[in-house]
Structure 1
């Protein structure tokens, strides 16, 4: 389908503003004008406007995607948590029966493309600001931060949906010269997964030179770019484990170390610590951390109820330290098929209910284990075990050995499950290692019986459906199998 240019001008005139429109909103707006929108290369002219754009990038960590959905997607779709709550949209997700009209899925699509659009504003227009108060060095730093965050959001999107639209322009106007380009950005086709990963890596590699130093824990910094490059190269369809090792080599020169006391990672008194690579700042930053109320408290049944499986995993391993930091139990006013009311669990890492909860977008232990995974795939079993044992030593667990690739992947997956429970990682770990269907189809309840909904999982269910609302509004989109 190709729209007449005059009609497209009418549509675009109603959909674009100089600073506030997001690509997720384009197709939800009715035309209100018959005039073409003038094109400007300088919709922002002041240094203060550029700084406002940057503030918006970090304020995004205070919205629903990061406060609720990211953690739910990563754990309630895996074996570490049950859905909890009573929202039927969430239950579809937790039981592997998502349909294309699921409003949570539609919401996350809009959020991610809204975040991407905010990054595009910086990448497209900051260079054109002539205000002398905005130095070239600051412009380059801003663009690096925006490129790293755009890569992060495309990394989330490609893991959730596979082939997704690749939108790199924050469109603010249309004329006869840019019509074709604007059309492709407003009504994009799905790019291939390989194309998305190429863009992600290009953004991250290009950002390294001017990114903030690794000491800037609350910014998209050089260490975070390296961490993402390692995870992306471990996750893309044709993983490059040599590059994973290379990028973690560089990461290990930036002064990171494991915090000696595991609970200090989450107690709210050790923010921006040596293990933190990038964290959302809920204490004096741009983020009001309301999301803790969605996971902790006995006033209503919360989301991400810790599973019998994850509690058993802690107990079987004798992992008292991480269990205490990860799970807390309370006497509540409800019960379900998994837990009694007198001993009901809650995830405990997001525990501050005063709005000041910081949370990690990346931390060093995660990357040590990603490096171990790469070394297993490269045949360095001794080196991989040594990395896992660094993480285990902190919580007083005995060393492991690795005898084969399969043995190594299984042991690293288990270690990641215990180390990173309720940090939004497990679903993506299982998909990356090809273990999702095998493990999730055998999810058990507290009595050791396979849960009925576990039969719903299959290879197609490892990708979300494209939201039907997006397909209805964009004739160039196609649906997942």
Structure 2
């Protein structure tokens, strides 16, 4: 098998432009020191800035515009798959197979994004252009490290044990052949090793990351927030570290009105920690049209369960900001055509929609979770009630860990619906099987596919196409 082909299957097509004609030197002749000239692919300050732009324009990619939100919500009780794509139904109904094209493409996307980060981390220090200052290099590496950590955090939650690729392969010679092979044909590393790399990347990036006021950059607050979520999600969570990193976030506060978060006139607001910028043209935000509009049946159709949960809680503010009912030309087994729901948080369909990767309410509820796990029930209620007060709801009290976790999860469900968090919240808290196996339709009848959820289905299969091209990749149990 040619290494250049394996690179494509492992890391995705976005990497190919950076690889020096591998088929010219890997197929027939022995590799010698003279076989290949490996030059730094980043030669000037402009090259480096273009590489950084590539990292940020990834938020216009299909992964961020569609798959991230689908993966986080359609696999849970807050939305149905919607649309008519059979591969999406597999996700929604916990019957994914290893050849599912969504799984394959998300693997390629994530490792392609990681490769873009590695290009900066591996090569920017070698740029001799005097206009690229050492402080700017340090900031670039900090931003790239934060993003690499973000993408590995997504990958480890989706697949469990994963390859950890830290080198952007641009060529091969006798000296680096073994390293190239290990990066192109990597074996999976343990979940713990993945979290160790994620934490190292984030903690190492904080000193040189942009200020938290730069909402569209991988900033210090974002690094602290990710660290808090990582320490809560890793094996044997460290709740002291969760609290510490969450409390390091500064200069943010809840917006006074919930709908201001999504009305399109409050971008880069006080509650935002990091958001993707569609308004200024950094990305073309085509994603909202995948979720909102009456021209065709959209993805992530709000579930009967979610609407009932809002109504049962008297939570009209967040219901009206999260779900929009309209008359459509179709109906299904869940909703009638005269009152069909759409997710409404991303409602601008002109390409200028911003969307949050992390906002302060998420962190407040994570702090509540950490407080519950450490038996600070009064403190936990205080964090939850900050979020509830903004929504016009009465305060809660917490009496035990079980009571507290139920209230944390319920609040996260209502506050963060359709922001891509629910699947990972349920997995992190160990409640996914118990909650998702009990899903019901609008008539209170059990959804037949809810019985499919089991421990194996909490992880995706390693894509079969990747395993076909890399014999070092093992498969997850149950696939």
Question: Common fold, TM-score beyond 0.5?
Answer: yes
Contact residue 189 and residue 477 of structure 1 kept, 8 A: yes
Instruction: Note if 1:300 corresponds to 2:296.
Output: yes
Which one of 185, 199, 202 corresponds to residue 201 of structure 1?
A: 199
**SS of structure 1 residue aligned to 2:208:** coil
Which one of 259, 262, 277 corresponds to residue 273 of structure 2?
A: 277
Residue aligning to 1:288 = 284
Contact residue 6 and residue 470 of structure 2 kept, 8 A: no
Relative to 1, partners in 2 of residues 1:119 and 1:418: Cα closer, same or farther, differing over 3 Å? same
- TM-superposition CA deviations, 1:140-173 (whole Å, max 9, x none): 0000000000000000000000000000000111
Structure 1 residue 466 displacement after superposition = 0.3
Relative to 1, partners in 2 of residues 1:368 and 1:71: Cα closer, same or farther, differing over 3 Å? same
Residue aligning to 1:4 = none
Relative to 1, partners in 2 of residues 1:260 and 1:315: Cα closer, same or farther, differing over 3 Å? same
Residue aligning to 2:135 = 137
Structure 1 segment 370-389 matched on structure 2, within 5 A: 370-389=366-385
Instruction: Note if 1:356 corresponds to 2:352.
Output: yes
Contact residue 217 and residue 277 of structure 1 kept, 8 A: yes
- TM-superposition CA deviations, 1:77-135 (whole Å, max 9, x none): 00100000000000000000000000000000000000000000000000000000000
Structure 1 residue 11 displacement after superposition = 3.7
Unmatched tracts of structure 1, length 5 or more: 1-7
**SS of structure 2 residue aligned to 1:298:** coil
Structure 1 segment 154-233 matched on structure 2, within 5 A: 154-233=152-231
Across the aligned residues of Structure 1 and Structure 2, the Cα RMSD in angstroms comes to 1.9
Partners of 1:267 and 1:444 in 2: CA distance: 31
Partners of 2:60 and 2:254 in 1: CA distance: 26
Structure 1 residue 177 displacement after superposition = 1.0
Structure 1 residue 222 displacement after superposition = 0.3
Residue aligning to 2:466 = 470
Residue aligning to 1:3 = none
Partners of 2:361 and 2:451 in 1: CA distance: 33
- TM-superposition CA deviations, 1:403-426 (whole Å, max 9, x none): 000110000000000000000000
**SS of structure 2 residue aligned to 1:191:** coil
Relative to 1, partners in 2 of residues 1:414 and 1:291: Cα closer, same or farther, differing over 3 Å? same
Structure 1 residue 32 displacement after superposition = 5.8
Residue aligning to 1:268 = 264
Relative to 1, partners in 2 of residues 1:179 and 1:277: Cα closer, same or farther, differing over 3 Å? same
Residue aligning to 1:128 = 126
Instruction: Note if 1:339 corresponds to 2:328.
Output: no
Output the TM-score relative to the length of structure 1: 0.94
Structure 1 residue 15 displacement after superposition = 6.1
Residue aligning to 2:40 = 42
Relative to 1, partners in 2 of residues 1:440 and 1:412: Cα closer, same or farther, differing over 3 Å? same
**SS of structure 2 residue aligned to 1:164:** coil
**SS of structure 2 residue aligned to 1:203:** helix
**SS of structure 2 residue aligned to 1:209:** helix
Relative to 1, partners in 2 of residues 1:94 and 1:75: Cα closer, same or farther, differing over 3 Å? same
Contact residue 15 and residue 26 of structure 1 kept, 8 A: no
Contact residue 41 and residue 125 of structure 1 kept, 8 A: no
Structure 1 segment 78-97 matched on structure 2, within 5 A: 78-97=76-95
Relative to 1, partners in 2 of residues 1:386 and 1:191: Cα closer, same or farther, differing over 3 Å? same
Output the TM-score relative to the length of structure 2: 0.95
Contact residue 4 and residue 22 of structure 2 kept, 8 A: no
Contact residue 246 and residue 367 of structure 2 kept, 8 A: yes
**SS of structure 1 residue aligned to 2:287:** helix
Residue aligning to 1:315 = 311
Residue aligning to 2:427 = 431
Relative to 1, partners in 2 of residues 1:21 and 1:424: Cα closer, same or farther, differing over 3 Å? closer
Partners of 1:30 and 1:428 in 2: CA distance: 38
